[in-house]
């Protein structure tokens, strides 16, 4: 599961770089991380993102 999450993050990060998407300098969580959370929740947990499911 960890390898799949890492792969999803790398693909999201590369996509954003290829599309030249710039981040706000004030962000605490970058766009690739936000995309990864949503995609992992959809793929592994049927769309239910809760901290309890990740622990």
Full domain range(s) for residue 30 = 2-54
What is the DSSP-derived secondary structure letter of residue 28?
Answer: S
pLDDT at 4: 92
pTM as predicted:
0.76
pLDDT at 52: 57
For tokens 């999803």, what's the residue? 8
pLDDT at 51: 54
Task: To the nearest 10°, report the CA torsion of 52, 54, 48, 45.
Answer: -130
pLDDT tens per residue across span 2-46: 899 999 999 999 999 999 999 999 999 999 999 999 899 888 877
What phi-psi label fits residue 23: left (phi over 0), alpha (psi between -120 and 50 degrees) or beta?
beta
Cα 24 to the center of its chain, rounded Å: 17
- Indicate the number of domains in the chain: 1
pLDDT at 45: 77
């Amino acid at each position: 599961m960890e390898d799949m999450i890492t792969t999803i993050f790398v693909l999201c990060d590369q996509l954003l770089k290829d599309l030249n998407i710039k981040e706000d300098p004030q962000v605490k969580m970058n766009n690739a991380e936000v995309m990864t959370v949503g995609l992992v929740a959809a793929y592994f947990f049927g769309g239910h993102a809760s901290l309890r499911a990740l622990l």
